[in-house]
Structure 1
């Protein structure tokens, strides 16, 4: 007897796995942004630096919540925006000195 397949086989991550991956990635980026903020505040006391990394922490926290709610694509977009903004802002501040 052959088993009837209900449809095409899914490839990639299951929704639960996608949520776990995005949640873990958001957590790692949030920790990295916090550490970078602490290190940067040790070397410079710039309000811009605090603001940029503060925004990165907020966005990565938002991505974490979105991932837990199953909005993994939106969370990925928010997380990507967070990283790009933090790196670009840090580069812009460093190039003005």
Structure 2
């Protein structure tokens, strides 16, 4: 091994021998984790707070779906009592917003979907209270 290879080993980069290990059919053994990254004996690993991203996406999709069904039910009840373009407009926009939130959550934009869902629900309730007598 030359001096430059030894320097490369000390820095932690792969040597040519490690790069050609796949040719012989053998898989290289995984590197051991750094001692600095491992927790000390008296310390615990910090626990992750909150949901995993895939859990948050599924939760947001479920919440938007439930809200969509509820908005459709309220729309049907409101249309049975009085048919108005405002009723269809308010609850139709809420249904559209729920669909947008579902699509945003599917694409990984969960925080934006949360804000859109919250703002849309508040706007629909305010419009129902103010616009619809």
* TM-score category of the 2 structures, normalised to the smaller one: 0.7 to 0.9
Residues 24-49 of structure 1: CA distance to partner in whole angstroms, max 9, x if unpaired? 00000111111110110000111001
Q: Which runs of 5+ in 2 are unaligned?
A: 1-34, 40-44
Q: Does 1:56 align with 2:56?
A: no
1:11 deviates by 1.0
- Per-residue CA distance 1:35-88 (angstroms, 9 max, x = gap): 110110000111001100000000011001101111000000110111011100
- Structure 1 residue 8: Cα displacement: 4.6
C-alpha distance in 2, partners of 1:37/1:67?
Answer: 24
Greater Cα radius of gyration, structure 1 or 2: 2
Distance 1:64 1:44 in 2: 30
Greater share of helix residues, 1 or 2? 1
For 1:81 and 1:49, locate their aligned partners in 2 and report how far apart those are by CA, in whole Å: 18
Q: Which has the higher contact order (CA 8 A, sep 6+)?
A: 1
* Pairs aligned (count): 93
Runs (5+) with no aligned partner, structure 1: none
With normalisation by structure 1, the TM-score equals 0.88
> In the alignment, does 2:10 pair up with 1:4?
no
Question: Does 1:21 pair with 2:59?
Answer: yes
RMSD (Å), alpha carbons: 1.9
Q: CA deviation at 1:9?
A: 3.7
